[in-house]
Amino acid sequence: MAAPRILVVDDEADLRELLEITLLKMGLDVDSAATLRQARALLDEHDYALVLTDMRLPDGLGLELVREVSAAGTGTPIAVITAYGSAENAVVALKAGAFDYISKPVALDALRVMVRSALKLLEAPPAPAGGAAPGSRMIGSSPAMAALRAQIGRLARSNAPISITGESGSGKELAAREIHALSSRASKPFVAVNCGAIPETLMEAEFFGYRKGAFTGAAEERDGFFQAANGGTLMLDEVADLPLPMQVKLLRAIQERRVRKIGATAEEPVDVRIISATHQDLARCVEQGRFRQDLFYRLNVIELALPPLRERLDDLPVLAATILARLAGPDQAALGPGVLEALRAYSFPGNIRELENVLERALAFANDGVIEVGDLSLKAARPVEGGGGGVQSAAATLPPSLTQPAPVPAQVQDTGQPPAALSAQLAGAAQLGPTGLPSNLPEYLNQVEREIIGRALQQTQFNRTQAAALLGISVRQLRYQIQKLEICAPDDHA
Ligand SMILES: Nc1ncnc2c1ncn2[C@@H]1O[C@H](COP(=O)(O)OP(=O)(O)OP(=O)(O)O)[C@@H](O)[C@H]1O
């Protein structure tokens, strides 16, 4: 089989030669051009496995070539070489469709990594029509989902950082997994990190790893998330929760593509595609000084916005059927009359995760696997249209004791009740033994905490920032507790 052919476009003879030699040593065929005009002529004649172009050329910008190659739709990846420190150029090129970029002075190990990554695209089967990865769990064929799939298919063929936005439970992690699964990185790890769930003091060690003896307790050398995701994809979920000092270190790691373990003297190269996600408005966080602008631009190269479930209600029937089949087994559960209408009328602030929870709970109440409207226990957030009727007022994702109208902690404190009485009042579902005492104190206290947090989430329509403010704790603490206590399973990673 002929060696893959690479086109190098650069007017600096020395650099061109260095690139040629490096690529030839990798066993590749190389053509070179010194101008856009020469490059276009070669592109007309040959198919290339990768085009590598400088940004400034005597007769124009490498960006023009990026646009032309992308527009040609041949799937040929094109990477740009940018001047040192010109991050904006790299971002513009990535937005225009460049596969990746490399900064001058060109580090040859980073160049080899990038070229290998581009060559893997040749091996990766093209994304199937409709863009679903094999074994994909992403369901839906509404216009919004079709557009999302097409975008995911395109993004999978690049190394550009992606920022996924969307409400809680709308499928951000699922979309990130889909991009990874469709990419040339699919055989390497996908590592999802919940930035809000890591204690600040452990962050550097968790992200970059540490050497043995780097600090008290570092008994063994350990890799961090970057090393664990090497060759693959690192998803930074709830990225807005990163503390500012960590943002600086992260920016450096992304820019340099190198990390240094705590206690190590040398940096090591890492090849990681970054996907970040948040349900917060990151641009607003920048305005408020809570998020660094330079990191924002680096992460936010390409934005993927996930629509909330209420904006793609056409997918409800297939989503509900698939979730039910997963919960109960094929053909073991069904929706009774009016149920779909009731679901359609609900606003689903917790999106698909909430739909999963609603159906799981309803199934527990259902007779013979047939879910009736009354089993749904939906919070009547929107009026039911078309006479679906019978929608009850209750929080679908929360334990039954939370569906009773109950005061928030602050309100209860206003009544002057002592904390112990408050706990007992809230702990409707926590079990007290015959002695009037809990038979398992830690579990009892967990249940109390679960209920209070659940209630705060319910009152704030699952807005974690507001819920944390209500409870007088930090968002980080709240996320940590949500994860630890498995409340509505919002974060099942990191
Ligand atoms: N299109 C979809 N088809 C089927 N299931 C989906 C879809 N989108 C999301 N889900 C399911 O909904 C649940 C929540 O999805 P996911 O964790 O990806 O959301 P998220 O936006 O990352 O949530 P959070 O903001 O809380 O981190 C998961 O169980 C996921 O499998």
The pLDDT of residue 474:
76
Q: What residues contact 356, with CB distance under 8 A and at least 6 apart? A: 323
Angstrom distances, CA of residue 111 to CA of 115, 226, 344, 413:
6, 19, 51, 62
- C-alpha angle with apex 300: 138 to 270, nearest 5 degrees? 85
DSSP states along 201-215: GGHHHHHH-B-TTSS
Contact of 445 with 422, CB cutoff 8 Å: no
Structure tokens at 99: 């596969």
**Pocket of ligand 1, candidates 282, 353, 487: which has the most ligand atoms within 8 Å of its Cβ, to mutate?**
353
The whole-number mean pLDDT for each consecutive block of 10 residues of the chain, a chain of 494 residues, reads 91 94 96 96 95 94 94 90 77 90 87 89 62 75 91 90 93 95 92 92 94 89 96 95 94 90 93 92 92 92 93 94 92 91 92 94 88 82 35 33 32 32 43 70 79 84 82 79 69 35
At residue 489, what is the residue type?
Answer: A
Q: Could you give the dihedral angle defined by the CA atoms of residues 181, 183, 188 and 193, in that order, rounded to the nearest 10 degrees?
A: -70
Q: Whose CA is nearest to atom 5 of ligand 1?
A: 138
Distance from the CA of 439 to the center of ligand 1, in angstroms?
36
Q: Is the C-beta atom of 493 inside 6 A of ligand 1? A: no
What is the set of domains in the chain, with CATH numbers? 5-123 (3.40.50.2300), 143-307 (3.40.50.300), 310-375 (1.10.8.60), 405-484 (1.10.10)
335, with CB counted inside 10 A (0-12, 13-18, 19+), is buried
Strand partners, 237: 194, 277
Question: What gap in Å lies between CA 144 and CA 147, rounded to an integer?
Answer: 5
Question: What gap in Å lies between CA 270 and CA 256, rounded to an integer?
Answer: 9
Question: What gap in Å lies between CA 295 and CA 277, rounded to an integer?
Answer: 13
Q: Is the C-beta atom of 140 inside 6 A of ligand 1? A: yes
In this prediction the ipTM stands at 0.98
Q: Could you give the dihedral angle defined by the CA atoms of residues 180, 183, 184 and 189, in that order, rounded to the nearest 10 degrees?
A: 0
Distance from the CA of 354 to the center of ligand 1, in angstroms?
9
Helix (H) or strand (E) holding 31: strand 29-33
The pLDDT of residue 131:
55
Question: What gap in Å lies between CA 346 and CA 333, rounded to an integer?
Answer: 21
Distance from the CA of 12 to the center of ligand 1, in angstroms?
49
Contact of 196 with 475, CB cutoff 8 Å: yes
Contact of 32 with 20, CB cutoff 8 Å: yes
Question: What gap in Å lies between CA 271 and CA 234, rounded to an integer?
Answer: 10
Q: What residues contact 56, with CB distance under 8 A and at least 6 apart? A: 11, 62, 83
Phi-psi label, residue 146: left if phi above 0, alpha if psi -120 to 50, beta otherwise: alpha
| Chain centre to alpha carbon of residue 35 | 39
Contact of 346 with 313, CB cutoff 8 Å: no
Antiparallel, parallel or unpaired: β 190-194 and 233-237: parallel
Q: Is the C-beta atom of 237 inside 6 A of ligand 1? A: yes
**Nearest to residue 457, comparing CAs of 483, 378, 476, 465?**
465
Per-residue b or e along 352-369, where b marks 16 or more CB atoms closer than 10 Å to that residue's CB: bbbbbbbbbbbbeebeee
Alpha helices in 366-437 (DSSP H): 409-414, 419-426
Question: What gap in Å lies between CA 388 and CA 394, rounded to an integer?
Answer: 16
**Pocket of ligand 1, candidates 145, 167, 174, 358: which has the most ligand atoms within 8 Å of its Cβ, to mutate?**
174
Contact of 280 with 479, CB cutoff 8 Å: no
**Nearest to residue 171, comparing CAs of 274, 275, 305?**
305
Question: What gap in Å lies between CA 347 and CA 324, rounded to an integer?
Answer: 20
Q: Is the C-beta atom of 321 inside 6 A of ligand 1? A: no
Contact of 275 with 233, CB cutoff 8 Å: yes
Dihedral pair phi/psi, residue 274, rounded to 5°: -100, 125
The pLDDT of residue 105:
87
Distance from the CA of 286 to the center of ligand 1, in angstroms?
26
**Pocket of ligand 1, candidates 352, 355, 397, 479: which has the most ligand atoms within 8 Å of its Cβ, to mutate?**
352
Structure tokens at 287: 């305005």
The pLDDT of residue 89:
82
Distance from the CA of 175 to the center of ligand 1, in angstroms?
8
Q: Whose CA is nearest to atom 15 of ligand 1?
A: 171
Distance from the CA of 280 to the center of ligand 1, in angstroms?
16
- Find where tokens 């216009």 sit: 143
Contact of 158 with 101, CB cutoff 8 Å: no
Ligand 1 atom closest to 279 (CA): 25
DSSP states along 42-59: HHHH---SEEEEESEETT
The pLDDT of residue 441:
75
Contact of 452 with 425, CB cutoff 8 Å: no
The radius of gyration computed from the CA coordinates of the chain, to the nearest angstrom, equals 26
